[in-house]
Amino acid sequence: MGEFTDKMKGSAKEAIGEAKQHSRDPETRAEGTADKIDGKTDKMKGAVKGATGDKI
């Protein structure tokens, strides 16, 4: 995927994770935390691709 796609995917995962963290179900809250971390990772991957000219 490209830089922009990775950043957008990361932003979406972070938003979904944030919403899940407000659930009453502990399992769903844990999934929300994992989604949020995964989203931050995708955004970081997009930033690295942007810095390297999308060559990785």
What phi and psi values does residue 55 have, to the nearest 5 degrees? -100, 0
Which regions of 1-56 does DSSP assign to beta strands (E)?
none
Cα atoms in the 13 Å half-sphere on the side-chain side of 26: 0
- Predicted confidence (pLDDT) per residue in 7-39, tens digit: 999 999 999 999 999 999 999 999 999 999 999
Q: Give the number of other Cβ atoms within 10 Å of residue 40's Cβ.
A: 15
Residue 54's pLDDT band (boundaries 50, 70, 90)?
Answer: low
Position 48 pLDDT exceeds 60:
yes
What phi and psi values does residue 24 have, to the nearest 5 degrees? -85, -20
Alpha-carbon distance 29 to 19, whole Å? 9
Residue spans of the domains in the chain: they are: 3-51
